[in-house]
Amino acid sequence: MSLSGVYHLLWPIFKRGNGVHVAQKIQTLFIDDIDGSAAEGTVRFALDGTDYEIDLNTAHAAALRKAMAKYVEAARRSSSGATARRPARSGRRASASGLNTTEVREWAKAQGIEVKDRGRVPAELVVRFRAATGN
């Protein structure tokens, strides 16, 4: 879309009540996160499965790269593009309440209670399970 197309699309924004046409210019300034000086740009890196980004000036960016150089040289790149390899999930995890829904479903089926294999376990069923098992 051309600039004039954007202008016509946003005509109500550019036209004030007094008929004067105005526009806004938005400028993004990068500020060094270490010392508050003007930054060259954003440096992105990852460590222990967490992605980080920091705005740095030229000197700080060079210092960070120099500090990490021997580790980067010895490291191998991740083939998946992911920053960390996560272990595979094994089985069902307990919910935040500590309730294992697989156990509840197995108990219900053993009691002859009909329960779906997936989805939320009805609260009434959880109450009955806890009363019967003490969990």
Alpha-carbon distance of 48 to 85, in angstroms, equals 9
Q: Across residues 44-69, what is the average pLDDT?
A: 92
Give the residue with greater pLDDT, 47 vs 85: 47
Domain assignment of residue 114, yes or no: yes
Domain assignment of residue 52, yes or no: yes
Domain assignment of residue 96, yes or no: no
Query: By residue range, what is the domain housing residue 121?
Result: 101-133
| CATH number for position 33 | 3.30.60.230
What are the pLDDT digits (tens) for 16-41? Answer: 566 666 777 777 788 999 999 999 88
Domain assignment of residue 86, yes or no: no
Residues 105 and 71 in one domain: no
Residue 125 neighbours by CB under 8 Å, 6+ apart: 104, 108, 113, 115
Domain assignment of residue 31, yes or no: yes
Query: Which pLDDT score is estimated for 99?
Result: 78
Contacts of 58-65 spanning 24+ positions with Cβ under 8 A: 60/32, 60/34, 60/35
For residue 24, give the nearest of 34, 10, 36 by alpha carbon. Answer: 10
What are the pLDDT digits (tens) for 65-116? Answer: 999 999 989 988 886 555 445 555 544 455 556 778 888 889 899 999 998 8
SS3 100: coil
For the record, the structure tokens of 65 come out as 């790269």
Domain assignment of residue 21, yes or no: no
Examine the pLDDT at 127 and tell me if it is beyond 80. yes
Q: Across residues 7-24, what is the average pLDDT?
A: 59
Domain assignment of residue 18, yes or no: no
Q: Residue 39: how many CB atoms within 10 A of its CB?
A: 21
Residues 106 and 72 in one domain: no
Q: Residue 57: how many CB atoms within 10 A of its CB?
A: 20
Instruction: Count the domains in the chain.
Output: 2
